Structure 1
Amino acid sequence: MKKDYYALLGVPRNATQEEIKRAYRRLALKYHPDRNPGDPEAEERFKEISEAYEVLSDPEKRAIYDAQGHAGLHQRGFRGFEDVEDIFSAFSDLFEEFFGFSFRERSPGRKPRAGADLSYEVSLSLEEVYHGKEVEITLEKYLRCEECGGSGLAPGAGPRYCPVCKGRGHVVHSEGFFRLTTTCPHCQGMGTLISDPCPRCHGEGRVWGKRRLRVKIPPGVEEGSVIRVPGEGEAGLYGGPPGDLYLKIRTKPHAYFRREGKNLVLTLVIGVVDAILGARTEVQHLSGETIPIEIPRGTQPGDRLLLKGKGLPDPRGGEPGDLLVEIEVRLPSRVNREQEELLRRFSELEKSEGPQVKSRKKSGFWRKIFKE
């Protein structure tokens, strides 16, 4: 639950803008992350008071907060600050007023940054899942600049040391007892300067383009699984490392088979006579082979026949799944006179008592057994 903004700054609800500003200056000095290195509680407190100041120093946001609280701000898209870098960026002029130097120097600038991760959905037929497949993917993304090899330098050029930080990448500011080390604003923390950038990538070390690659999908890959391809995301900025590519697997519906984990399920429709007397049939498997199926006598609708090891391969090299054959008995919608006579004769031989409502209690023989 979010805390009261006025309580966070220690000011009354009728505080003036000057009182709010003074309170924030005092607390920002106390909880600043550079004054409390490695202290997550101080950093969290710094974010809380900065969020409070962001709202209470803005007349429009303050009016919404006074009338509707945190919910009113949330409905209008206010989310606060995700990290301290957002605070330094938003309040750089204010911090320069408070402490005598700007916090814009903390911006990432030309500091090497990792490339973004990419995601791509791969749709496979069930046959491709069974056998495995090498898929070809074409991506539009940032690629490492081949002209400069990702350095951002023009061919033959070299970086030179920053004259402000002497190659250290940071500078030190002092204001009384308050000592702060910040990123060098001249070289943005690189320690070096590029005076002759690459003409193709303009010094970024990467360019927009297309890349085609082939990725092997193992047999039996699971539905919804994600395959990581290291280094195939976007190229990094200013020589930073590339991101990764994540492939999400989707299985296309099959005309006859469906998958349950490693198992394959097939629905087999048979006639009444085959269910009673048993039968033999064949099905075309995903592997391409023809598999015989024995239907035992007295097979009931909904029965499942198990064919061990005829499911999908295990992508981790374990035992394969099974093939489950679900039985569906097809009843004839009409019969001719000869068939009807045979069925009536069959009913007499079976000594059928006709349709009956099935009791949920045990009766007859079972009642005697269980002595109900």
Structure 2
Amino acid sequence: MGDDGIRSDWATKDFYKELGVAKTASQDEIKKAYRKLARANHPDSHPDDTAKHDKFKAVAEAYDVIGDADKRAKYDQARELFGRGGYPAGGGFGGGAGFGGGGNVNVEDLLRDRAGGGGGFGDLFGDLFGGGFTQSRRTQRATRGGDLETTATIGFTEALEGVTVSLRISSDSACATCHGTGGKPGTQPHVCPTCDGSGFVTASVGGAFSMNETCPTCGGRQLVYDDPCPTCHGTGRGQSARTIQAKIPAGVKDGQRIRLRGKGAPGDHGGPAGDLYVTVKVTGHRVFGRKGEHLTIDVPVSFPELALGAEIKVPTLGGAPVTLKVPAGTPNGRTFRIRGKGAEKRDGTKGDLLATVEVQVPGNLGPEAKQALEAYAAATADAPLRAGLYDEAR
């Protein structure tokens, strides 16, 4: 357990209560309590339970302090000091307010840097809070993770019925060595001198106008380290790859973009994760097409079937064929509606199957078929089909 990342507000937190142990508990009892709570609230066992995530962070923070004997002793001293009469006026540590509501003890004198004040409370707070405890001590802001984009290719039937797919996601994340701080593990940060810990600097734009920009020195992290992390070279960033399960809803269309909340890049300093946007590509079907909530199919028929009428079998997706009655004299290209055999709609009902009849011209005719067709041509020679076409063309 290192001293880096310790915050000044820890003196106002009851870490014993957080771990459920008495102030007189032994180090072994503290360790056992921590392990029990860590197992019960670990994020890997409860990936979607934010309350357990927060509890896990809290018990880890508590154990980092009172799980270390030296740090625990300093923490107890700080708690005892603050418990004698409350906090300074305004709830902070700066200013001239005294402890105990009316005393003449000056907080700035109590917390004077050990180099100028010669020890005392300055030493206590300097050791407990990582050195240089001052009114300007800052914590890094929680920031939301970035949004990510990916593509998922699914089959025609999967798009109609819905499917869960595995997606391999690579994203920018906190460095695994320094956990996003940018500093060498075991070293202490200090407030960025460029932005004075705000995380941004003001740049002049066109004379009278100015805008805020991310601080180039700390990268918006507000704190800097003299010794950079050897893995990320001070950037605090790294690459992570993970596999997630994404549920694609029934009825998704080709090219549709789906938003998965909280599945994007992880946030920094406890911030929420970003979102993942999945563009769905749907492969085609050899027989069926799709038109919104309806399915489409081209049904090959012969000329006699259209001219004389017929009953033909039409396949359905995932079901038994249906019988379609084609009336005599049906024109080529007519579309019939077969109700309830289409794609599933949001309300649970289904669209229709749109069957379009297409005359198929045989490539080869046998002698009898050719003779019969020639006889038909002779019988209908007095009814030219293109007479009106010539008149309209003029």
* Map 1:28-39 → 2, pairs under 5 A: none
What is the count of residue pairs matched by the alignment? Answer: 246
| Alpha-carbon distance in structure 1 between the residues aligned to 2:287 and 2:143 | 49
| Alpha-carbon distance in structure 1 between the residues aligned to 2:212 and 2:364 | 89
- Code of the residue aligned with 2:309 in structure 1: it is G
Matched, 1:303 2:305: no
CA contact (8 A) 1:111 1:188 kept: no
What is the TM-score when the length of structure 1 is the normalising length?
0.52
- Code of the residue aligned with 1:353 in structure 2: it is D
Q: Which residue in 1 is equivalent to 2:262?
A: 231
| Alpha-carbon distance in structure 1 between the residues aligned to 2:218 and 2:151 | 40
What is the TM-score when the length of structure 2 is the normalising length?
0.50
* Map 1:172-251 → 2, pairs under 5 A: 190-194=221-225, 204=235, 206-236=237-267, 241-251=272-282
CA offset digits 1:261-295 (Å, max 9, x no partner): 22211111012232233333434433x21131313
Q: Which residue in 2 is equivalent to 1:275?
A: 306
Q: Which residue in 2 is equivalent to 1:138?
A: 168
| Alpha-carbon distance in structure 1 between the residues aligned to 2:369 and 2:186 | 94
| Alpha-carbon distance in structure 2 between the residues aligned to 1:139 and 1:290 | 40
| Alpha-carbon distance in structure 1 between the residues aligned to 2:280 and 2:201 | 49
Matched, 1:359 2:388: yes
Structure 2 residue matching 1:265: 3-state secondary structure: strand
| Alpha-carbon distance in structure 2 between the residues aligned to 1:171 and 1:276 | 82
Shift of 1:170: 7.5
* Map 1:30-109 → 2, pairs under 5 A: none
Shift of 1:202: 6.0
Q: Which residue in 2 is equivalent to 1:93?
A: none
| Alpha-carbon distance in structure 2 between the residues aligned to 1:258 and 1:172 | 57
CA contact (8 A) 2:312 2:326 kept: no
- Code of the residue aligned with 1:329 in structure 2: it is V
CA contact (8 A) 2:199 2:221 kept: yes
Change (3 A) 1:144 1:338: same
Q: Which residue in 2 is equivalent to 1:332?
A: 362
CA contact (8 A) 2:182 2:224 kept: no
CA offset digits 1:98-149 (Å, max 9, x no partner): xxxxxxxxxxxx9876544322121221111111110111122223456666
CA contact (8 A) 2:315 2:322 kept: no
| Alpha-carbon distance in structure 1 between the residues aligned to 2:385 and 2:275 | 65
CA contact (8 A) 1:162 1:191 kept: yes
| Alpha-carbon distance in structure 1 between the residues aligned to 2:212 and 2:391 | 83
| Alpha-carbon distance in structure 2 between the residues aligned to 1:297 and 1:317 | 34
CA contact (8 A) 1:282 1:290 kept: no
Structure 2 residue matching 1:359: 3-state secondary structure: helix
| Alpha-carbon distance in structure 1 between the residues aligned to 2:364 and 2:341 | 37
CA contact (8 A) 1:308 1:322 kept: yes
- Code of the residue aligned with 2:274 in structure 1: it is G
- Code of the residue aligned with 2:327 in structure 1: it is R
| Alpha-carbon distance in structure 2 between the residues aligned to 1:291 and 1:338 | 32
Sequence identity, in percent? 32
Considering only aligned residues, what root-mean-square deviation do their CA atoms show, in Å?
4.3
| Alpha-carbon distance in structure 1 between the residues aligned to 2:255 and 2:312 | 34
Q: Which residue in 2 is equivalent to 1:124?
A: 154
- Code of the residue aligned with 2:288 in structure 1: it is F
Unaligned runs of 5+ in 2: 1-139
- Code of the residue aligned with 1:234 in structure 2: it is A
Shift of 1:155: 7.3
Unaligned runs of 5+ in 1: 1-109, 364-372
Q: Which residue in 1 is equivalent to 2:20?
A: none
* Map 1:341-352 → 2, pairs under 5 A: 342-343=372-373
Change (3 A) 1:191 1:339: closer
Shift of 1:189: 5.9
Structure 1 residue matching 2:284: 3-state secondary structure: coil
Structure 2 residue matching 1:332: 3-state secondary structure: coil
Shift of 1:206: 4.4
Shift of 1:256: 0.9
Shift of 1:335: 3.8
